[in-house]
Structure 1
Amino acid sequence: MPEPSRPVVLLFPGQGAQHPGMAVELYGAEPEFTAAMDEFFALMGEEGGRLRADWLGDDPQVPLDDASRAQPLLFAIGYALGTALLARGVRPAALLGHSVGELAAACLAGVFDLAGAARLMAARSRAMATTGAGGMLAAGVAADDLEPRIGAPYRAAGVAVAAINGPRNTVVAGPEPWLSELAGELAAGGVTTRRVPSRQAFHCPAVLGAAELFAAGFAGVPLAPPRVPIRSTATGLPVTRAQALSPGFWAGQLARPVLFWAALDGLLADGDYTLVEAGPGRSLSMPARRHAAVRSGRSTVLAPLPAPGNGVADGTLAGWKAAMEEMDVLVGEGV
């Protein structure tokens, strides 16, 4: 087998990437993906059956944007896509996940097994169920420009910058009604925002209590150092052995800002890669395409699953097959 032209890095998206019909065309058609999804649903017990029904059905009982649906399903799809890629012979040089996607990366890297992951996803859903109504706003401004616009009353309520996805791609999160009021103030100040599909806030002080509850869910879940390097979105650096073995490190990310751009920038400063989005849509590959290393052609971005269009899943299987053929060219025959 020829050597890959560029090492592969898998990107695992988080809340906001979910949409009706995401990846459903692969279920039953891609054996490794199907087996991984079925194993996860089985490990989730009765809730796994409800998750599966809401994922595959046209009329979910719980909206997909709710944390109790989006989070475990995004985890499962990311993990299952990663498993399918490994089965094809892909050997990633690193993994990078956004929010719950970082937990999918950790599971694929062997920090915890799938049974442990199912327990953690259940604990994460229980923890988030204790939070009130909230959400996230994406703004096309730099974090340094957005921070001063979050006044003291909003900060006191737990509103904060939740993610930095690019130089001018910032997400702010918090509880309602403060988040909606801030959106109005930002609009009046010339800052356009859009809602991230989420019924709860993430990665802000408003969910510190949920992060503490989530940490308790790690009791009895064995942790191990990653077998594949994980680029942390908490630090922008590779996850250390001590961090990998710390429940507080993984649980704390629920309330910490996601430094996706810093992690991506540090990764691409180390070398040239083929970045593959292991999840639905383009939520990570789109900002990655704006990085200088990708614009120059030194690194390449591949998104196997199509972005959502009118809530229809059509084209997912064809897109996956086309991406796998492209990957064969990018990283070497037989991968």
Structure 2
Amino acid sequence: MIGFVFPGQGTVRVGMGGWLRRDPAGAAVVARADELLPEPVSGLCARGPLDKLVDTLHAQPAVTACNLAALAVLRERGVEPEVVAGHSVGEVSALCAAGVLDVDTALRLVATRARLMADLPTTGGMTAVLGLTLRRVEELAAEAARPGEPLVVGLENASDHAVVSGATAAVDRLAALAGEAGARKVVALKVSNAFHSPLMAGALDGWAEAVRGTPMRPPRVPVVPNATAEPTTDLSTIVDALIAQLTARVRWTETMGVLADVETLVEVGDSKVLAGLLRGVGVRCVSTADPAAVRRLRRPEPAA
């Protein structure tokens, strides 16, 4: 059994997608992204500048273009998934892999998501907390929040790796509290706002309209949405979860548990972040960021 996982915008870096742009199948997808997106991404991925690349407006389309380029390379080799999941904006790439969206539609939808989120006033931030249990981080987030200054766990990346998201002042208070509580590391993320938190509510109506107005097909394989961490082939459930994901928690720890028994997991994109998280829970995952790993992947032999 083969599973595909797709990284999100936190994995962007200058130089990303280099080998994918040299592969004919990958290059065709990146060229198509340059045609469709409001601003071409190939040059930005290759040369930056970094401050522009990490901006939400550009980061989400850039990582999606690389994800879909990697997917095209695998498809060219006859490698298809039997279950898919994506981390944050990577979920849109996962839906493409499952056959819910075609490449053009996925790129357009991500461009809309990025614009809606980038247009919100910058009132919040995100900080990773490592070395504390999820329950302890939730307690500290509740302690740091104030009326009008929400703070929640936005991402569960591992049992001892949570990312809090919310009002800037609350994030700052949380950082101090986490240090006092014995966190191994507290790292402010380089993001423009508080993703997967109530502060994204201003984009929710526009996002829901965009998602519900997008042509979609029932998935060919199960999808594990971020908002539920439960495999499903029900299209209405997938749509609702994709909408909810904008303000809801990314339940990646639970998702990794769901995928733990998959024989071959592949991180599809130019990133090894998800492969690293999976290794941390004892699950092997290869990455298409390593061309040699891609060459070793083979089309499954048909059952006798």
User: Common fold, TM-score beyond 0.5?
Assistant: yes
Bigger drift between 81-90 and 134-143 goes to: 134-143
Q: Describe the superposition over 1:213-250 as per-residue Cα deviations: whole angstroms up to 9, x where unpaired.
A: 2112235321221122212222111134243563x431
Residue 127 of structure 2: aligned partner: 137
Distance 1:281 1:122 in 2: 20
Quick check: 1:201 aligned with 2:171? Answer: no
Cα offset, 1:124, TM superposition = 0.9
- C-alpha spacing 1:134/1:63, structure 2 compared with 1 (3 Å): farther
Partner AA of 1:324 in structure 2: V
* Aligned CA distance change for structure 1 residues 21 and 217 (closer, same or farther; 3 Å): same
Question: Which of 247, 262, 279 lines up with 2:269 in the alignment?
Answer: 279
What amino acid is the match of 2:230? L
Cα offset, 1:121, TM superposition: 1.8
Deviation, 1:304, is 3.0
1:218 is paired with a residue whose SS is helix
In the alignment, residue 127 of structure 1 is paired with which amino acid? L
Match of 1:149 among 137, 140, 157: 140
1:20 aligns with 2:11: no
- Counterpart amino acid of 1:276? V
Counterpart-to-counterpart distance in 1, 2:80 and 2:235 = 24
Structure 2 SS opposite 1:284: helix
Judge conservation of contact 2:227–2:244 (CA < 8 Å) in 1. Answer: no
Secondary structure of residue in 2 paired with 1:217: helix
CA deviation after TM superposition for structure 1 residue 131, in Å: 3.5
Q: Which runs of 4+ in 1 moved over 6 A?
A: none
Following superposition, the deviation at residue 161 of structure 1 comes to 0.3
Could you state the TM-score of these two structures normalised by the residue count of structure 2? 0.89
C-alpha displacement at 1:284, in angstroms?
A: 0.7
Structure 2: any 5+ residue segments left out of the alignment?
Answer: none
Distance 1:155 1:92, change over 3 A: farther
How far the C-alpha of 1:135 sits from its partner, in A, is: 2.6
Which of 205, 211, 222 matches 1:218? 211
What is the distance in 2 between the residues matched to 1:80 and 1:131? 32
| 1:272-311 mapped onto 2 (5 Å cutoff) | 272-292=262-282, 294=283, 300-305=284-289
User: How many angstroms apart in 1 are the aligned matches of 2:39 and 2:116?
Assistant: 17
Partner AA of 2:9 in structure 1: Q
**Structure 1 residue 152: Cα displacement:** 5.0
> Which residue does the alignment assign to 1:70?
59
1:262 aligns with 2:277: no
Picking from 220, 224, 238, the partner of 1:227 is 220
Q: Counterpart in 2 of 1:243?
A: 236
User: How far apart, CA to CA, are the structure 1 residues paired with 2:73 and 2:269?
Assistant: 12
Q: CA shift at 1:133, angstroms?
A: 4.2
Q: Distance in 2 between matches of 1:242 and 1:324?
A: 30
Supply the distance in 2 between the matched residues of 1:152 and 1:184 (Cα, whole angstroms): 11
Identity fraction in percent: 30
Q: Residues 9 and 190 of structure 1: is their aligned pair in 2 closer, same or farther, counting only changes over 3 Å?
A: same
Task: Work out whether residues 17 and 46 of structure 2, in 8 Å CA contact, stay in contact via their aligned partners in 1.
Answer: no
* AA matched with 1:143: L
- Residue type of the alignment partner of 2:18: V
Match among 15, 39, 49 for residue 48 of structure 1 = 39
CA shift, 1:69, in A, is: 1.4
Aligned to 1:4: none
- AA of the residue aligned to 2:254: A
Tell me which of the two structures has the higher relative contact order, counting C-alpha pairs closer than 8 angstroms and 6 or more residues apart.
Answer: 1
Q: Residue 10 of structure 1: which of 4, 7, 13 is its match?
A: 4
Aligned partner of 1:308 in structure 2 is none
1:275 deviates by: 1.1
| Alpha-carbon separation, structure 2, partners of 1:193 and 1:331 | 42
Structure 1 match to 2:28: 35
Structure 1: which 5+ residue stretches go unaligned?
1-6, 295-299, 306-318
In the comparison of the two structures, how many residue pairs are matched?
297
Deviation at 1:170, TM superposition (A): 1.1
| Superposed displacement of residue 42, structure 1 | 1.0
Residue identity in the other structure for 1:207: M
Which SS does the other structure have where 2:9 is aligned? coil
Provide the residue aligned with 2:157 in structure 1. Answer: 165
3-state SS of paired residue (2:216): coil
Paired residues of 2:224 and 2:231 also in contact (CA < 8 A): yes
Q: Is residue 79–residue 105 contact of structure 1 (8 Å, CA) maintained in 2? A: no
